Amino acid sequence: MVRERVGEGRFIEVFVDTPLAICEARDPKGLYKKARAGELRNFTGIDSVYEAPESAEIHLN
């Protein structure tokens, strides 16, 4: 969507592919813990589906 609005050649998508366990371990605000406890709803990766980008120019593992 952004790619179409900005224009070809002016937008670079970077996908930082971090495992969920690492995201949870590095969560200084405790948001993943709250989401797991049901205190936060629609939290991406917990109770809301995460869709990885299909055509990122850069993919970091």
In terms of residue numbers, what domain contains 28? 14-60
Q: Is residue 29 included in any domain, yes or no?
A: yes
Q: Into how many domains does the chain fold?
A: 1
Q: Which residue is listed with tokens 């690492």?
A: 22
> Which whole-number Å values give the CA distances from 21 to 11, 24, 26, 46, in the listed order?
29, 5, 9, 11
What per-residue confidence (pLDDT) applies to 38? 97
The 10s digit of each residue's pLDDT in 18-33 is 999 999 999 999 999 9
Task: Count CB-CB contacts under 10 A for residue 35.
Answer: 20
> Tokens representing 18?
């971090």
Q: Is residue 4 included in any domain, yes or no?
A: no
Q: Is residue 30 included in any domain, yes or no?
A: yes
Q: Is residue 5 included in any domain, yes or no?
A: no
What per-residue confidence (pLDDT) applies to 36? 97
Q: Determine the residue type at 54.
A: E
Long-range pairs for 38-47: beta carbons < 8 A, 24 or more residues apart: 45/20
